[in-house]
Amino acid sequence: MSQKKIIFSGVQPSGNLTLGNYLGAILNWIPLQEEYNCIYSIVDLHALTVRQVPAELRKKTRSLLALYIACGLDPEKNVLFVQSHNSAHAELAWILNCFTYTGELSRMTQFKEKAQKHADNINAGLFTYPVLMAADILLYQADLVPVGEDQKQHLEITRDIAQRFNNIYGDVFTIPEPYIPKVGARIMSLQNPEKKMSKSDENPNSYISLLDKPDVIMSKFRRAVTDSEAIVRYDEENKPGISNLMSIYSSITGKSYGDIEKEFEGLGYGDFKTAVGQTVAETLRPIQEKHDQLMSDKAYLDNIMKDGAQRAEGLSYRTLRKVYKKLGLVPRS
Ligand code: TYM
């Protein structure tokens, strides 16, 4: 790879990818492929922290790769690969576990939330989830990590772990920076705008799946929870529902909140919801068509996975070897 800056990010192949994942993460990856060396993973090992149905996980992994491509990621320009295809991730994660304190892991908001939600399965993987994420990023010496707002804390712990390691062993890891979009970094649930939109929500009306058909999208937006003021105005605190719809509309159209307020002046929420629904449905239609077409070509997707895994392995091997050497592990002859 050339001396361009390195970008790493990933999405879990659990549940249906939502509009939140798209606007908070993937949409921002698209322009980066022209300027940076980008590596995007389908982080299937992370998905195992919650019980998965094997056949579904397999299908969702392929479907996520198809979505990456359908959203506009060029498999030639970017390294697209499945995390479990490169064993270096699990290897480095073990090492970094030995440089991470249980105290700092127990402060992670996502862990606390997931532990509450899956009280019958608070496994050690759920606890050390951020360490595997640190391994993902540090293996490739990533400079920037484009993610949604909810991942900021995991980026901070990644930086802490890297700095701690570097302080002992010298400059082994690049310290990565988060890259969070100004609009769309935290898309909220359509049913409860105090909560983030999540693919694991039990109520499907709370999220838009990237594979939802236009009539479903329209009906979900029509039912979105708003307020009784009937004025399209951005006010996150007092009008979280409308503000959320405005941020969805703004991130897709590029219009400012001021422009949107003017566009819908004197119109009711019904008109606004219809416009947001139509914009989302029109954005997703070509993505869905491409996704479906790619899903019928298993050999093509398998080839991309194979090529991506080889490239990912090649890139991460250097870091892993250096880490082993610094730690005093005897190289295998
Ligand atoms: P995941 O699959 O939960 O989310 C994938 C990406 O979507 C963003 N996101 C959102 N953005 C805006 N609004 C929302 N409601 C919303 N929900 C999710 C997330 O911030 C994320 O960018 N732990 C990561 C996966 C991961 C990773 C990594 C990311 C594993 N290793 C290394 C970066 C680098 C996660 O949250 O996945």
* pLDDT tens figures, 256-277: 999 999 999 999 999 999 999 9
Q: Which pLDDT band, with edges at 50, 70 and 90, does 200 fall under?
A: confident
Q: Which ligand 1 atom is nearest residue 133's CA? A: 31
Mention every residue, 6+ apart, whose C-beta is less than 8 A from residue 178.
144, 145, 147, 151, 152, 155
Query: What's the pTM?
Result: 0.96
* Mean pLDDT (the chain, rounded): 96
* 126 touches ligand 1 (CB under 6 Å): no
Rounded to whole angstroms, how far apart are CA atoms 207 and 202?
Answer: 10
Question: For 15, which DSSP code?
Answer: S
- State the DSSP code for 187: P
> Ligand 1: does its nearest atom lie under 6 Å from the Cβ of 45?
no
Q: Which of 199, 255, 290, 322 is catalytic?
A: 199
- Residue ranges with strand state E in 219-268: none
Q: Which residues contact 161 (CB under 8 A, 6 or more apart)?
A: 96, 99, 100, 131, 134, 138
77 is catalytic: no
Confidence of residue 2 (pLDDT cuts 50, 70, 90): low
Tokens of 14: 């659990």
Tokens 């400059």 sit at which residue? Answer: 171
- With the most atoms of ligand 1 within 8 angstroms of its CB, the residue from 11, 16, 19, 46 to mutate is 11
Tell how far the Cα of 82 is from the centroid of ligand 1, in angstroms.
15
Residue 296 predicted with pLDDT over 80: yes
pLDDT in tens, 110-154: 999 999 988 999 999 999 999 999 999 999 999 999 999 999 999
pLDDT at 23 over 70: yes
The CA 264 to ligand 1 mean position distance, Å, reads 32
CB-ligand 1 contact for 89 (6 Å cutoff): no
In order of their start, the domains of the chain are 6-180+297-327 (3.40.50.620), 204-292 (1.10.240.10)
Query: Does pLDDT of 16 surpass 90?
Result: no
**What residue type is 304 in one-letter code?**
I
Ramachandran assignment for 284, one of left (phi > 0), alpha (psi -120 to 50 degrees), beta (any other): alpha
Are 38 and 68 in contact, with CB atoms under 8 Å apart? no
